Chains A and B, each alone.
Chain A
Amino acid sequence: MTAPTAAAASRRFAARLPRLETLAAWLLAIVWIFPLLYAVWAAFHPSEFMVRFDLLAPLTLANFLDAWEQAPFARYYLNTFLLVTGIVAGQFVVCTLAGFAFARFPIPGKDFLFMLVLLQLFVFPEVLIVENYRIASALGLVDTITGIGLPYVASAFGIFLLRQTFKTIPRELEDAARIEGCGWMAVLLKVYVPLAKPTYLAYGLVSISHHWNNFLWPLVVTNSVESRPLTVGLGIFSAPETGVNWATISAATLLSIAPLLVAFLLFQRQFVQSFLRAGIR
């Protein structure tokens, strides 16, 4: 940002944000984005320029090639993709059914059951790694993508969100559909689900970014390249004791976050809205 525009801008908006605060806001923004920009710098330059800022430093893709060759990132991508798709699909189905039940059906002890579900908002599967590992092991789910995803499918958060959304949908719409002779499943699919689309989008985005980034449980439950998601692959690849070259690690790091980051930059508004919608109730 150049000085004249800054001055002009702050004069124009003086009533809202004083010059000092604008400066502070920008400074903070620069500090906040700096680590990421730095990783980009490191990834695209030879490793001797890690701490030497030279605008004329030669650009290179060698670090990305190194990273790509040294670890099976293609497979990790595939695993993460399958994992995230699987989890979100499973969550949509299971949470829709449960949310629907909680919103519309007279189940005895419903409030108590609902409280029990909400408990999982606090006790995430990774807190129980030891026992969940044992259970996954007993079910033959160790080292499978299903094993990583299954504990997250019945998400209290998803059930809660969908219940809230379904509750806001007027009964009249449902009744109209029933008069047309729809069964419960048809009512759910034709009335409730379409009307809850924004919630699905929001919840889906939140869930995708959460599971794309999840680490501890996948680390515990996977053993091999066939099931390892990106985060675990990256963690193993770049653990400091391997002494892998930093420029290569930066490249690997960018490789692993690129799809999500690009998606975020393209759909920034939807992302932010989603996190809000999902979180604020």
Chain B
Amino acid sequence: MSAFLPRTLGGLAAAGLLVAGQTTAQQEPVELTMYYPVAVGGALTEVIDGLVADFEADHPDIAVEAIYAGNYDDTRVRAMSAVEAGDAPQLSVMFSIDLYELLEQDVIVAFDEVVESDEEREWLDSFYPALMENGTLDGKTYGIPFQRSTIVFYWNKEAFAAAGLDPDTPPETWEEMAEMGATIREAGEGDRWGVMVPSTGYPYWMFQAFAFQNGHRLMSEDGTEVYFNDPAAVEALEYWVSLAAEHDAMPDGAIEWGTLRQNFIEGATAMMWHSTGNLTAVKNEADFDFGVAMLPMKTQRGSPTGGGNFYLFKDATPEERRAAMTFIRWMTAPERAATWSIETGYMGVSPAAYETQALQEYVEEFPPAAVARDQLEHATAELATYQGGRVRRALDNAVQAALTGQMSPQEALDQAQAEADAALRRYAR
């Protein structure tokens, strides 16, 4: 375990904070409850528990109960149900795109209302701007980035070599990826496929990457409109479908999000698109040489950001809110962000995280760890709208319908557009 380093750093940081922040007399520790999701492999719950224990050691006046609630959707369901039962958490890590629904249900507060000092206001600005897009609305900050990702491109260098491709050159463009995929498939070592892009779990997310690489954003900034059946989006879906239908580089049918990493590890596919949050798990499990690169491009590079933000819940005392702030600041401090990134593959959320010694050394030794960060300048916000559950489901269904050959990309996206419009009809501004 690398627990030693963070603990020491944590201790130092805590000493500083204690000196600075010893304002209230402590009797009973402030109790905080936090729900959090896990959507990628690896023992993330252990990492979180470890961080929380370190925090509590540093802050004996605050007790944090961190509850693992399943995937992102489960976590939203659980947190909302706790709110409804009158047992609201004070903070939670939830899908960055849950923002509109959380606002709609009126359960969260903006960080702007809780910050007190200029120093804290500066802290709000210390994160990568691309990671703040999903967390801000109308100039207010509601979500602080924590387990954030982009989609990155993983490739199996040995499989590339076996198919006669240069193992060190990943595809730069859509065309190259399709060709390379077909080449690998033809080389047909075992039953290996060229490329897999997952189409269960979060299909809309992958589709967003294709669309953005084709220069198209799928939604308006205020979350009230979507543009699913724009020609650029249709072209993007056509390309995705063609990977299987024309190029025979990808298997037919839906590709399971959860088992994809295992497919890659087993060598069943030479390339995959997946969350950078899987990086450490792939690194630990793969017994072959692999590379990580930015996603290929059509007219531009691009990936949506993804993952979870910290939210502050409304139903909390001022004291609890301050304690929650302390916790969130501690969790997102550069040292912890660095540890978290190393342990999981998720991004260090602030430039300062990549300036820590730990992460600098790690990136030097393992360059793929920086790909997600480098890709940030090409990133767009993840699909987030009002009625997000329905809107995303409409798009998910369209993607799956097209990939499984039930509908043409145009038909599928037309239908998704109609469904999303119906869901959003009450929200037009």
Contacts and interface: CB of A to CB of B under 8 A. Distances in A.
Chain B binds chain A: yes
Contacts of A272: none
Given A240-B200, A241-B200, A243-B259, 12 more contacts: A69-B46, A70-B46, A137-B86, A143-B82, A143-B85, A225-B68, A236-B70, A236-B74, A239-B71, A239-B258, A241-B202, A242-B71
A239 B41 contact: no
Given A70-B43, A223-B81, A243 B261 contact: yes
Nearest to B89: A223
B85 A140 contact: yes
A224 interface: yes
Contacts of A243: 40-42, 257-262, 278, 281
Contacts of B200: 240-241
A241 B86 contact: no
A142 B87 contact: yes
B95 to A, nearest CB: 12
B271 to A, nearest CB: 17
Given A66-B43, A142-B87, A240 B82 contact: no
Contacts of A136: 85
A81 interface: no
A223 B67 contact: yes
Given A142-B85, A240-B201, A243-B281, A223 B46 contact: no
A167 B70 CA distance: 48
A134 to B, nearest CB: 8
Nearest to A225: B67
B376 interface: no
Contact of A242 (B40, B82, B285): B40
Nearest to B65: A224
A241 B35 CA distance: 18
Contacts of B67: 223-225
Interface of B is mostly: mixed
Nearest to B274: A243
Interface residues of A, number: 23
Contacts of A244: 41
Minimum-distance CB pairs A-B, first 6: A240-B258, A243-B41, A142-B85, A236-B70, A241-B201, A137-B85
Interface string B256-279: 111111100000000000000010
Interface of A: 66, 69-71, 133, 136-137, 140, 142-143, 220, 223-225, 236, 239-246
Nearest to A71: B45
Contact of A69 (B42, B43, B87): B43
Contacts of B39: 241-242
A51 to B, nearest CB: 8
B258 A242 contact: yes
Contacts of A66: 43
19 contacts: A66-B43, A71-B45, A137-B84, A137-B85, A137-B86, A142-B87, A225-B67, A236-B69, A239-B74, A240-B258, A241-B202, A241-B258, A243-B40, A243-B258, A243-B260, A243-B261, A244-B41, A245-B41, A245-B285
A241 B68 contact: no
Nearest to B258: A240
B152 interface: no
A240 B257 contact: yes
B336 to A, nearest CB: 21
B71 A241 contact: yes
A7 to B, nearest CB: 40
Contacts of B40: 242-243
A140 B39 CA distance: 30
Contacts of A137: 81, 84-86
A214 to B, nearest CB: 18
